[in-house]
Amino acid sequence: MTWKHPSSPVTKKFKVQRSAAKVMATVFWDAKGVILLDILPQGQCINAVQYCSNLDRLIDAICRKRPGLLRRGVVLQYNNATPHSAKLTQQWLQRYCWKILPHPAHSLDLSPSDFHLFGPLERHLGGMAFETECDLYSLLSCWKKCTDLHGYYVEN
């Protein structure tokens, strides 16, 4: 409610636009490209149980795509989000002897994903709008084909 004088001009109301629906994606990647991508349904957030499930799937993906990686040892770098630091996740990491590269608190600008993943992804998707989840998943299938072919051209 606004207080105004009777002779004040009528306030213009702007047309409200529907905000973009967001989905949560978990991406595991290395210098050679994406190893595993998991997208949650719209409105869902990841928790430790889902994250550990992704880590189990990551082992399968590594065995298929980068078998030598498991022999050399895995070092993960991620931020200090709750699913990453949860007791369940820490137990999973200890069981498989995976190491964590420490990430300083409040230092989001030090994440390699900001430079090597989100930047190129934003440049590629800049201005695109997806009306439905189906549209988003069709993009993902094209993205998967492209990453499987190491960036070579893919027809829709």
Q: Strands 33-39 and 25-30, how do they pair?
A: antiparallel
Task: Note whether residue 76 is domain-resident.
Answer: yes
Task: Note whether residue 134 is domain-resident.
Answer: no
Using the structure block, give the residue that is written with the tokens 């002897």: 97
Residue 10 has pLDDT above 70, yes or no: yes
| 52 vs 3, residue with greater confidence | 52
44-58, 64-78, 124-138: least confidently modelled range: 124-138
Q: What is the pLDDT of residue 42?
A: 81
Residues in the chain: 156
Q: What is the pLDDT of residue 7?
A: 78
Q: What is the pLDDT of residue 72?
A: 81
Task: Note whether residue 109 is domain-resident.
Answer: yes
Token digits of residue 99: 């190491």
Of 85, 91, 29, 89, the residue nearest 61 (C-alpha): 29
* 49 neighbors 57 (Cβ within 8 angstroms): no
Beta pairing partners, 15: none
Q: What is the pLDDT of residue 108?
A: 59
Task: Note whether residue 152 is domain-resident.
Answer: no
Angle between helices 87-96 and 48-65 (to 10 degrees): 30
Q: Give the global pTM.
A: 0.66
Task: Note whether residue 4 is domain-resident.
Answer: no
The pLDDT tens digits for 101-121 are 877 666 656 666 666 666 777
Of 10, 78, 73, the residue nearest 46 (C-alpha): 78
Task: Note whether residue 10 is domain-resident.
Answer: no
Task: Note whether residue 57 is domain-resident.
Answer: yes
Range of the domain at 63: 25-113
Q: How many domains is the chain partitioned into structurally?
A: 1
Q: What is the pLDDT of residue 51?
A: 95
Task: Note whether residue 59 is domain-resident.
Answer: yes
Query: For the domain that residue 78 is a member of, what is the CATH number?
Result: 3.30.420.10
Q: How confident is the model at residue 73 (pLDDT cuts 50, 70, 90)?
A: confident
Residue 147 has pLDDT above 70, yes or no: no
As a whole number, the mean pLDDT across the chain is: 78
DSSP 114: I
Q: How confident is the model at residue 48 (pLDDT cuts 50, 70, 90)?
A: very high
Q: What is the pLDDT of residue 74?
A: 87
